[in-house]
Amino acid sequence: MNFAQWWLTRGPSGLPDCFSIMVTFLWEREGRCVMICRQNEDSDLGRSARRRGGIGLAFVASLTAIVAAGCDQQQTAAGPAAQEDGKLLAFPGAQGHGRFAAGGRGGDIMAVTTLDDSGPGSLRECIEADKPRVCVFRVGGVIRFTTERPIIANPYITIAGETAPGGGILLTHDGGPTGLSPIVIKNTHDVVIRHIRVRMDKMGERRESNSGFIVENSSNIILDHVSSSWTRDENFGGQGENDAITVSWSIFAQGLQPHDKCALLSSDSHKPQQVSFINNLCALNGDRNPDANFPAGSCIEVVNNVLYGATGEFVEVWESNGGTPINIVGNVFRAGEKTPPTIAAVTRWRIETKGAASIYAADNALDGAMAMQTANVEEVKAEAPVCPLTFDPAPSTDVLARVLGGAGAMPRDDFDQRIVSDVLARKGELIAEPGILPALAAGEAPLDDDHDGMADVWERTSGVDDQIANSWEDADGDGWSNLAEYLDFAHRERLAENARM
């Protein structure tokens, strides 16, 4: 029984059902709350709600609009099926080609208890461990790599930033010769990273090694609700022979000129890849918003993103690796103050072409003066998706509100809040120098006396024994492990925190 169910069946009497559920959402951060009230009028919960004097679905609709990011994009762990086509999803609501990444499922729970660069209880210790593991955070704040950052090379890891107290986790480096891209996933597989932000306030010496997130020669990877800014290369970059990659619900903003890029989805690839770039915000980057350059036989989807303020290019489709097959669906291309009216939403590049691209573009919204595509796109446009979409896209009319309401590492720090405000107000600048790191509250981690990665209070209210380590058991028999359900709760808690800000 989740908290919303408890409230309706055992909680204080006399309150209207939707008011009760909204209070549950605000104070217990049950992201599914309004959906329970709206969708289950004829369920046991609905009948209980009516007995308590429900206030009607019209009001529910307005509440739903307010908390759409929390309720629509990710429901409770008991909601979505744990499996798809017989495969277990990375987490409830996982989408895209990387949705089956195992992460650290079944492995050790490793608590990050210090913000230090290295040593016992450090994030580095968890990253470098050679075993399946889940990194949960007992601290919140800035982790600055003062020596060369660790590389995620050992497979089967989940970095659960949603467990961090306070303002969450920010990764950065100390500049100079060891100032390198803070997150590099290289020559590995099955990696899940959520609710981690990367911002570089100091200049690393090697521009080409100063991205935010890099995935190289790796497979079954999902980056979800991450944020990156002030990079000298890419905010996100794919290199080499990757496959089964998802980048979702993330904010990539204000890379540093003159190489200010949102996302290079692939570089130097020679084998077909499956890559999803979905529900993201690219803001105030000159070009590569994003850039796709893949071999024939690949399946690339750029779906339901908000792409804002480009000055060079928005989506770039290249052919120098063999001719990119790509679905570009349901995106919002929003002009900024410095976006030239001559820019195109989709640009086809034929430099050193090794085969024609194939481009399916549908339901993309142009918000500001620009062209839909360069003239040479028409000859390679497809009438139907070039490969199956991995999920049903939202209509482009809903995308601006959904992405601005729900993307990025949560709760949003001051930087991401400002970026979202700039997008809404059609303001903001492209920059060449980094700023000052936003302050993050340290917070206080919840009690976890059995060290299983789950808050004791959550275990007690969810019917899970809080006296024994039982992360990988399934107390309610719904196909999700206890830890998967707790991490989903923590994720939705972060979303609701942001909704209150």
CB-neighbour burial class of residue 485 (10 A; exposed 0-12, middle 13-18, buried 19+): buried
pLDDT at 27: 32
Residues 128 and 195 grouped into a single domain: yes
- The model's pLDDT over 208-241, given as tens digits with 9 standing for 90+, comes to 788 999 999 999 999 999 999 999 999 999 999 9
- 439 belongs to a structural domain: no
Residues 379 and 341 grouped into a single domain: yes
Q: Would strands 183-186 and 213-216 be described as parallel, antiparallel, or unpaired?
A: parallel
- 275 belongs to a structural domain: yes
Closest CA to 230 of 296, 275, 173: 173
Structurally, the chain folds into a number of domains equal to 2
Answer with the one of 425, 441, 476 that is the final residue of a domain: 425
State which H helix or E strand residue 397 sits in: helix 396-406
- 312 belongs to a structural domain: yes
Residues 72 and 90 grouped into a single domain: no
pLDDT band at 79 (very low <50, low <70, confident <90, very high): low
Which domain, by its residues, includes 491?
3-78+456-500
Residues 196 and 60 grouped into a single domain: no
pLDDT at 33: 36
CA distance 481 to 463: 13
pLDDT at 154: 98
Mean of the per-residue pLDDT values of the chain = 87
- The model's pLDDT over 403-445, given as tens digits with 9 standing for 90+, comes to 999 999 999 999 999 999 999 999 999 999 999 999 999 999 9
Residues 23 and 8 grouped into a single domain: yes
Residues 93 and 158 grouped into a single domain: yes
- 381 belongs to a structural domain: yes
Report the alpha-carbon angle 248-102-89, nearest 5.
60
Residues 115 and 54 grouped into a single domain: no
**Are 138 and 165 a contacting pair, CB within 8 Å?**
yes
Q: What is the mean pLDDT of residues 482-496?
A: 97
Pairwise pLDDT comparison (249 vs 35), residue with the higher score: 249
DSSP 255: P
Q: What is the mean pLDDT of residues 468-491?
A: 98
Alpha carbon 451 to its chain centroid, in Å, reads 27
**Are 39 and 62 a contacting pair, CB within 8 Å?**
no
- CA-CA distances (angstroms) from residue 66 to 77, 193, 195, 408? 22, 27, 22, 18
- 375 belongs to a structural domain: yes
Residues 31 and 128 grouped into a single domain: no
Residues 333 and 248 grouped into a single domain: yes
Output the domain CATH number for residue 205: 2.160.20.10
Pairwise pLDDT comparison (398 vs 25), residue with the higher score: 398
Residue 46 has pLDDT above 90, yes or no: no
Two tokens, residue 179: 């100032």
CA distance 214 to 184: 5
- The model's pLDDT over 342-386, given as tens digits with 9 standing for 90+, comes to 999 999 999 999 999 999 999 999 999 999 999 999 999 999 999
Residue 37 has pLDDT above 80, yes or no: no
Residues 71 and 93 grouped into a single domain: no
Q: What percent of the chain has pLDDT over 90?
A: 81
pLDDT at 22: 38
CB atoms within 10 A of CB 449: 9
CA distance 70 to 333: 24
Instruction: Indicate the pTM of the whole model.
Output: 0.87
- 451 belongs to a structural domain: no
Residues 247 and 376 grouped into a single domain: yes
- The model's pLDDT over 259-290, given as tens digits with 9 standing for 90+, comes to 999 999 999 999 999 999 999 999 999 999 99
- CA-CA distances (angstroms) from residue 462 to 15, 23, 78, 154, 465? 23, 19, 11, 33, 9
Residue 14 has pLDDT above 60, yes or no: no
Residue 30 has pLDDT above 50, yes or no: no
- 146 belongs to a structural domain: yes
Q: What is the mean pLDDT of residues 179-191?
A: 97
Pairwise pLDDT comparison (141 vs 51), residue with the higher score: 141
pLDDT band at 80 (very low <50, low <70, confident <90, very high): confident
CA distance 365 to 394: 12
Block residue for tokens 């744990």:
82
**Are 442 and 141 a contacting pair, CB within 8 Å?**
yes
pLDDT at 471: 98
Residues 157 and 272 grouped into a single domain: yes
- The model's pLDDT over 295-345, given as tens digits with 9 standing for 90+, comes to 999 999 999 999 999 999 999 999 999 999 999 999 999 999 999 999 999
**Are 229 and 255 a contacting pair, CB within 8 Å?**
yes
- 441 belongs to a structural domain: no
